[in-house]
């Protein structure tokens, strides 16, 4: 544990605040999005700029303290905090600068996606991200980034142009295609293993108003919808994205009262063109199986991005399991239906995110994100506000995963995993793992950054070293 004299020394080195267990706001500061996580770090360094981050890293090295990096604090496994660690908290670094002429966006390492969406929307631009505005830019980007614009513009990492990082030895570097290109390769999917990103530079795209929202169907039509969806989404125009979900209808507007608290299946669409074209593309499903409820229509992109923020506020209990899938067989669909029938009400859900379209056009070794040949990224999330139900939601998510895993492609999206051990991390990076381990050995040979989906530094002279 850190001595008071050491904390006093750290306070003199930072412009941001240092929070310790003696502080009144220690307990609120150590909370992360998932209320199941209850960790007690030694201190939080609330960094306001890159200089603070460099000072915090050098301090942690000098005092032999483990570092955890917190971006948006959304990670379900709680990887933004760790017991007895010094948490480098990037929350104060939340600036966004949009350059409309180059359509690029620079975002501070502690930004949430809603910060970026708000800033870019004014210029008629958007950066491909996820589906919830409160998620951190840092963790989502470094793990890959899948969301409403994946089919049209690729993963978030496919739109990353450069990043500024503080390395494990406290040095500040830029990583891009031209500078430290090995590091740039590794951070596009390799997570927070290589350094602390203080700013990201993204390519944005002209996205302003989208035609979007959910369509819902009764569960007795779920098999038909899944079979239709598996054919549709692999050949649909890339302008349309749609993720499949099992969910419980929330008990309030805008959902019709007759459907409140009903278990249903749905597809959440996002079309980047006009309403007339959207209606034409979606006409086949409307005439095949008319939805029981549709909330599809034109909306500003940031509205779509924050559509579910109210349903999933911070402070719920979360347990996740995930896999990639290359196909959705009839047998897998049967298994889904069986598991979905046991889904706990009302926040728990299962999503299938399409990985195809522009995301598929990037080669499997161009970035560490190796499952470019997957068609879906599945996530099963047990969610409940009541800590008394944590066992129930965990058991349901595990049971669902165990039943579906035999149909899977082998690995899972790192940002949808809990702490599942080294084999699972290796399975996820497949043939890219050794190269990641070699980059890790170059930039972080002591595994200083290890509160993450950890990539162990390659031993000197091992096969991965290049
Ligand atoms: C409600 C919800 C919805 C989600 N939706 C999506 C989605 O649509 N698409 C998707 O792809 N993912 C989604 N995710 C998963 C999300 O990408 C991960 O949880 C991600 O880790 C969150 O990033 P964060 O910065 O908020 O997390 P944190 O908990 O702060 O950090 C997570 C990890 O990233 C590292 N990290 C964070 N910031 C930095 C940084 N600046 N520099 C270096 N390392 C850093 C941390 O060390 C840690 O290991 C969702 C998660 C939740 C809870």
How far, in Å, CA of 192 to CA of 284, rounded? 43
How far, in Å, CA of 372 to CA of 19, rounded? 42
Residue 290 CA to ligand 1 center (angstroms) comes to 36
Phi, psi (degrees; rounded to nearest 5) at 68: -115, 145
Residue nearest to atom 11 of ligand 1 (CA): 145
Cα 279 from chain centroid? 30
In this predicted model, what pLDDT tens digit does every residue of 250-291 receive, in sequence order? 999 999 999 999 999 999 999 999 999 999 999 999 999 999
Q: Which residues does ligand 1 sit against, CB inside 6 Å?
A: 33, 69-76, 79-80, 90, 109, 130-132, 135-136, 138-140, 142-147, 191-192, 196-197, 312, 415, 451-452
Residue 136 CA to ligand 1 center (angstroms) comes to 5
Q: What percent of the chain stands above pLDDT 90?
A: 97
Residue 140 CA to ligand 1 center (angstroms) comes to 4
Residue 280: closest CA among 237, 221, 229: 237
Mean pLDDT of the region 340-368 = 96
Q: Which of 36, 78, 80, 312, when mutated, tests ligand 1's pocket best, judged by the most ligand atoms within 8 Å of its CB?
A: 80
Report the nearest atom of ligand 1 relative to the CA of 141. 17
In this predicted model, what pLDDT tens digit does every residue of 127-160 receive, in sequence order? 999 999 999 999 999 999 999 999 999 999 999 9
Residue 73 CA to ligand 1 center (angstroms) comes to 7
DSSP state of 262: -
How far, in Å, CA of 255 to CA of 267, rounded? 15
Residue 72 CA to ligand 1 center (angstroms) comes to 6
Cα 41 from chain centroid? 23
Mean pLDDT of the region 367-375 = 97
Mean pLDDT of the region 182-205 = 98
Taking each continuous run of H as one helix and of E as one strand, the counts in the chain are 14, 19
Residue nearest to atom 15 of ligand 1 (CA): 415
Model's pTM, two decimal places? 0.97
Residue 379 CA to ligand 1 center (angstroms) comes to 14
Mean pLDDT of the region 93-99 = 98
In this predicted model, what pLDDT tens digit does every residue of 6-23 receive, in sequence order? 999 999 999 999 999 999
| 296-328 as b/e: b if 16+ CB within 10 A | beebbbbbbbbbbbeebeeebbbbbbbbbbeeb
Q: Which of 71, 96, 162, when mutated, tests ligand 1's pocket best, judged by the most ligand atoms within 8 Å of its CB?
A: 71
How far, in Å, CA of 414 to CA of 409, rounded? 14
Q: Is 388 left (phi over 0), alpha (psi -120 to 50) or beta?
A: alpha
Mean pLDDT of the region 244-248 = 98
Residue 320 CA to ligand 1 center (angstroms) comes to 13
Task: Kindly indicate the confidence band of residue 461, based on its pLDDT and cuts at 50, 70 and 90.
Answer: low
Residue 466 above 50 pLDDT? Answer: no
**Averaged pLDDT of the chain:** 96
Report the nearest atom of ligand 1 relative to the CA of 451. 49
């Amino acid at each position: 544990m850190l001595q008071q004299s050491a904390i006093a020394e750290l306070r003199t080195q930072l412009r941001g605040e240092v929070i310790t267990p003696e502080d009144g706001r220690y307990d609120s500061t150590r909370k992360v999005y998932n209320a199941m996580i209850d960790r007690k770090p030694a201190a939080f360094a609330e960094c306001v700029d890159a200089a603070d981050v460099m000072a915090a890293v050098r301090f942690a090295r000098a005092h032999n303290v483990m570092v955890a990096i917190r971006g948006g604090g959304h990670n379900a496994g709680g990887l933004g905090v760790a017991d007895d660690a010094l948490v480098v908290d990037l929350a104060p670094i939340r600036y966004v600068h949009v350059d409309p002429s180059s359509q690029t966006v620079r975002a501070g390492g502690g930004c949430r996606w809603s910060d970026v969406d708000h800033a870019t929307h004014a210029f008629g631009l958007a950066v491909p991200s996820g589906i919830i505005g409160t998620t951190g830019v840092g963790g989502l980007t470094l793990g890959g980034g899948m969301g409403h614009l994946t089919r049209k513009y690729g993963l978030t990492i496919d739109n990353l142009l450069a990043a500024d990082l503080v390395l494990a030895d406290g040095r500040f570097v830029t990583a891009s295609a031209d500078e430290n290109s090995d590091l740039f390769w590794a951070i596009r999917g390799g997570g927070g293993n290589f350094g602390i990103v203080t700013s990201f530079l993204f390519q944005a795209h002209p996205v302003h108003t989208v035609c979007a929202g959910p369509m819902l169907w009764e569960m007795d039509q779920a098999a038909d919808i899944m079979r239709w969806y598996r054919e549709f989404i692999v050949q649909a125009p890339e302008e349309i994205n749609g993720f499949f979900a099992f969910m419980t209808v929330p008990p309030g507007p805008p959902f019709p009262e007759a459907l409140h608290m009903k278990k249903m299946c749905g597809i959440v669409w996002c079309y980047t063109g006009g309403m007339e074209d959207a209606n034409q593309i979606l006409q086949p499903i409307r005439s095949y199986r008319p939805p029981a409820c549709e909330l599809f229509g034109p909306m500003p992109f940031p509205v779509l991005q924050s559509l579910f923020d109210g349903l999933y506020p911070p402070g719920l209990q979360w347990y996740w399991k995930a896999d990639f899938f290359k196909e959705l067989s009839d047998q897998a669909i049967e298994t889904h239906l069986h598991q979905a029938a046991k889904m706990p009400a009302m926040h728990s859900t299962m999503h299938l995110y399409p990985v195809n379209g522009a995301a598929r056009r990037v080669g499997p070794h161009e970035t560490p994100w190796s499952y470019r040949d997957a068609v879906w990224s599945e996530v099963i999330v047990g969610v409940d506000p009541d800590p008394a139900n944590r066992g129930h939601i965990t058991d349901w998510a595990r049971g669902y995963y165990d039943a579906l895993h035999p149909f899977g492609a082998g690995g899972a999206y790192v940002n949808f995993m809990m702490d599942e051990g080294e084999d699972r991390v290796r399975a996820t990076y497949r043939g890219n793992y050794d190269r990641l381990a070699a980059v890790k050995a170059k930039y972080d040979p002591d595994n200083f950054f290890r509160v993450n989906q950890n990539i162990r530094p390659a031993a000197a002279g091992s096969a991965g070293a290049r």
